[in-house]
Chain A
Amino acid sequence: MTTNSTDESLMMAVREGACAELEILFDRHHLALYEFFYRMTGDRVASESLVQDVFRRILKFRDTFRDENRFKSWLFRIARNAHHEAFRRKSIRKVSPAGADVVRKDKSAALRDALLKLPEDRRELVVFSQYHQMTPEEIAELLDVDLPVAEVGVHRAMMELRDLYRTLSE
């Protein structure tokens, strides 16, 4: 295996016992995962821990990776589960955007608050589509839903974000 190998072939090698290959996958994806968690939680320490948790789960559940799986979808599915579980266990605090009465410093802060105020399932759709440039097809695969469901979901999330952003910017 080389650093040019695809994510999928590396993960298949990990599945077959060549766990050292996971290092290349960590190298490639830990920052993207960190960004996903940070956008979802707004908490650096929690996000760093969640990245570790994802790779711990990959090692534990490596047998469940199938040849037909796309690694990125599989990875983010694990990431979503890790995030949901951490919330359930309350090991990460719920993000608390500043209230609407706070004077906004800039648009970026207003939109950040709007994003954090979005319900979690909508927020992750915005994060996937806008920050990770995932296509509706990829999102549908990741969420294990039909394509139209993913499309409508992203669309609604964007509309909801726009409304919240408008309210917070006014």
Chain B
Amino acid sequence: MMRCEEVQEYLAERLAGSLSDRLSGTVHSYVRTHMLSCPECCEELEHFEEMQRVLHTIPVEPCDSASMWARFRVLMGANETENARSTRTRFAPRIRPLEVALVSLAAIVAVIAVFVAARQALKWISAARVVPALSTPATTPSPGPVAAVMRTGAISGQVRASNEEFLRNVRVSVTTIPKPGLPSTEITVEANADGKYRLDNIPAGQYYVLARFADASTYYPGSIDIAGATIVSIPPGAILEGIDFPSIASAGRSLSAAVPIELAEIAGRVLLEDGSEVSDPQSLGEIAISLTGNSSSIAATTMRLDGNGRFHQALAAGEYRFRIEEFSQNYLVRSVTAGGADLLKENLEVNGNSPVSVEIRVARRNDSGAGKVLGQELDTVDVTLRLDTGDRLPYWPDTSIVFTGTTGAFRVAASCVVGNLFRASVPADESFVLTVTNVAAGYAVQSIVDTRMTDLMHGGVFRPAAGPSAPSRIVVTLTRN
């Protein structure tokens, strides 16, 4: 029988990922037996797991990636210069010290000989002749410090639109081609009143060029979809001219020369359920709201809250679908209205006559983490991936655990919170079939079991736990093939 201290050491080792293959199988079964009858050790495990979860909530202050890239390029430029210098030195002819001594001696003898001969010659020539002084050869300028080569380029062009109004609000950006896990670098400039722009000091490389109006993007040369974008290669030390946009898109429709666009405004705020202001708007965190033009498939425009819980956006008049894309973990949305319209059900009509005012009513989330969000009772489900041997699994961000509702069309993939812990918010009154996809090569799913011991792998259906006292948990056990 294992003692508590041993079990706790085991838990620490397991969380540290340091359990050896040889021991883990046997030890794991002992630990399981012990844990069934020991609440202290269960608590200890929870404490450790919580610590591991909290570890991943410690924020990292975002770095200035653009400036890091710029400094890196200076470093590379300096290295190139250094290499060029050392290459020259390497290929210069080698002179040995003895040769130097002999050559120097010969030179001295030659100079003395010339001097003596010259004096003799002068004696022979009449002293009356004035010999013009030899002009001093110009000093060869010493090479100054070689400037570090900055490998940057520039682009310029013009954005065109029928309505001059738009050109006052157009911004042009170059953005690096997105790569998974890496933030993109973006350099932006405002076009002038004629729509002309120029972007300087762009690190050489491949970019998308975008013209933005009212947060709708047009990719160079004139696509609203990134798939139709032309990638522009910016070479070092060059200015690419003529990167022109014949027309640009707004949030709602394309701005072609023939279509007049009506500008409109939308403004909104977040209030508590009873209509009072949120005392600490910072606690609302990030709330991203997207507006999608209902009449076209143009990409959504996204608004973010300012520090006072308000948002504001200029856009083209039209009909929009209003969706909250991201929301603070601390609050639940109770309602979203504009005038008398319920935006959780209806579309939002924005016209140029007067600004549209949107109100989002929220309630502070209670500790249970469950409640009404966008009209649905949600339950948080934690899914843990484990290996049948008890060993720690590698980090698998690509793996998905998909919850498919059996009665409705609800389908959501649990996202990876940390390590092998995945989390999903699912409607509490729905039941689900679970599938695990993108398991890494060499592994297979052995079992999927929830807290009620339902076998979810062989036809069992998952029902979220009711109430905060019994949070839903699912364990997916994997085995090596």
A-to-B contact residues, CB < 8 Å: 17, 19-20, 22-23, 26-28, 30-31, 34-35, 38-39, 44, 47-48, 51-52, 55-56, 59, 107-108, 111-112, 115, 126, 129-131, 133, 135-136, 150-152, 154-155, 157-159, 161-162, 165
Contact = CB atoms under 8 A, between A and B. Distances in A.
Contacts, number: 107
A53 B182 CA distance: 21
A97 B17 CA distance: 27
For the complex, would chain A's binding face be called helix, strand, loop or mixed by DSSP majority?
Answer: helix
Given A20-B76, A108-B58, A133 B47 contact: no
Interface of B: 9, 12-13, 15-18, 20, 47-48, 50-52, 54-61, 63-65, 67-69, 71-72, 75-76, 79-80, 83, 179, 181-183, 394-395, 419
A47 to B, nearest CB: 7
Given A27-B182, A159-B12, A129 B17 contact: yes
A27 B206 CA distance: 13
Given A31-B183, A52-B72, A162 B17 contact: no
A4 B52 CA distance: 33
7 contacts: A17-B83, A30-B68, A39-B58, A52-B68, A107-B50, A135-B394, A162-B51
Given A38-B60, A162-B12, 10 more contacts: A23-B72, A47-B63, A48-B63, A52-B72, A107-B50, A111-B54, A130-B55, A150-B18, A151-B13, A162-B51
Contact of A59 (B18, B48, B79, B395): B79
A30 B58 contact: no
Contacts of B71: 48, 52
Nearest to A113: B58
A44 B61 contact: yes
B60 A19 contact: no
Contacts of A30: 65, 68, 72
A111 B51 contact: yes
Contacts of B13: 151, 155
A52 B75 contact: yes
Given A19-B83, A34-B63, A151 B18 contact: yes
Given A52-B68, A52-B71, A107-B54, A22 B16 contact: no
